[in-house]
Structure 1
Amino acid sequence: MTSKSQILKLYKTLLRESQKFPSYNYRKYSLRMIHDAFQENKNMTDRVLISAQIQEATRNLDIIKRQVVLGQMYSTEKLIIENVFDKV
């Protein structure tokens, strides 16, 4: 069984890893999808479904970690919008 603190830790880890995407678009997309998925499932009470969602989130965390490494290997120049936010 997983506790709320473990789920919160997984949520924070997903957000933290998504912040590492070198691509602005991937970074914003993944952050939005993570937030939306957790908001959608926050009132879930069925333990079997919760366990399945946690397993899916853990698999997605592994995917994000791999994609971050690949993105760092083949990084491109920053977008104009990123440079604007860096100055603020």
Structure 2
Amino acid sequence: MAVSSKQVLSLYKQLLEKAAKFDNYNFREYSKRRVRDAFKDNKNLSEEKSITEFYNKGIESLAQLHRQSTISQMFTFDKLVVEPLKQKHQ
């Protein structure tokens, strides 16, 4: 089965969304950076087999990110100085 560019783009967006759900700033930024770097490094894949392998690894990574971000949300972390404060607008 050929993987379409639309499916790859959807996977990319899903991975970034899951990575953004980490409560810990360092884990969150590391995960987002890894996703962006992996897609940037593999943007020139042209063989269907290579694209399918990359896509399948991405699906596995998505499942892993889901598990890890869920676990991360079970614990509270102090905010770091570099994290922007969430301001409530009323």
Residue 11 of structure 1 pairs with residue 16 of structure 2: no
TM-score by length of 1: 0.91
Superposition deviation, residue 46 in structure 1: 0.9
Distance 1:87 1:20 in 2: 15
Scaled by the length of structure 2, the TM-score of the pair is: 0.89
C-alpha change, 1:87 and 1:61, in structure 2 (3 Å) is: closer
More helix as a share of residues: 1
Which residue in the other structure is 2:22 paired with? 21
2: distance between equivalents of 1:66 and 1:87?
25
Structure 1, unaligned stretches of length 5 or more?
none
Q: What is the rounded CA distance, in whole Å, between the counterparts of 2:30 and 2:52 in structure 1? A: 24
Cα RMSD of the aligned pairs, angstroms, is: 1.3
Secondary structure of the 1:33 match is helix
Aligned to 1:81: 82
